[in-house]
Amino acid sequence: MKINKTLCTIVFAIVCSLNGAAQNENELIEDGTIQIDTSKKFAWDMSFTLKTMNVFRGLIPSKAPVFSTQAGVKYGDFIIGAYGGSSFNGGYTETDLILLYYRPKFNVRFDWYYNFTEGITNIPSASGFFDFNPEVTRGLLDFMFNVKLTKHLDFNSSTLLFGRDRPSLPEDDANNIQLRRGEQRYSQYANLQYTWKFNKSKIQTHVGYSFSWQDFNGPSFYGNKPGFTDLGVSFYKVILDTKTISIPFKASFIVNTVSNNVYLVGSILLLELSKI
């Protein structure tokens, strides 16, 4: 049927785009450096990172340089974490809360993203971090899971379950009002990740596809139509590594085929207190 045909096409296209295997770093924070050590029942870590810009699944939360702080506590198979980011020009500010259940072959995760940046939604004023009214909130609830398909190949899925993943109403757009929202789109993002590791370096590729469960052919949070919104290759290099401090550099080349944009992003971890 139509739904099954669409999903099969997505999976087939992603699989055909890869020709090898990847080593997943099991990172607590996406695009971060906090590691999970399954040999410890209790562990913690925090880090400080500088990025030339912020690109999230093919979207740009900030075109200006960004500094971010990440922290996490692990107890047993559960991890509670937080992310905070802000741009140098003050235009972008974000705080996220993270809850993760980790197993060696898979993990399940919920994130509550809250972006304070002005102009990102059709609601002009931020109503607060814990405002869960979907008609006005700037928050997004993201349900994610990761499955290790082989020793080197991972499948990652993200579904936006609640929050501002709602379009403004067409009648409001026509009258330039834009103070109401339509139905939840349940935007889906899925990718396969493939990595080569050598010495203290790593090359990682990923293919990301997005669509809306509410309308398979319509717009989603990631674009005005379904498509490959996040095709990328990243190069990691550890430039300083001691028993107490590790400073890696990452350069990423990202293509969004839906918006026809290309990004080159550099990031450097300035402080890592421990490796959990």
Of all residues in the chain, what percent carry a pLDDT higher than 90?
Answer: 47
In this prediction, residue 97 carries a pLDDT of: 95
Query: Burial code of 231-269, b = ≥16 C-beta within 10 A, e = fewer?
Result: bbebebeeeeeeeeebbbebebebbbebeeeebebebeb
In this prediction, residue 29 carries a pLDDT of: 39
In this prediction, residue 149 carries a pLDDT of: 93
> What average pLDDT does range 132-137 have in this prediction?
85
pLDDT tens by residue, 67-119: 999 888 889 989 999 999 999 988 899 999 999 998 888 999 999 999 888 76
Query: Among the listed ranges 24-33, 95-104, 123-132, which one has the minimum average pLDDT value?
Result: 24-33
Using CB atoms within 10 Å of the CB of residue 198, give its burial: 0 to 12 exposed, 13 to 18 middle, 19+ buried: exposed
Distance CA 85, CA 92 (A): 8
pTM: 0.80
> What average pLDDT does range 181-198 have in this prediction?
92
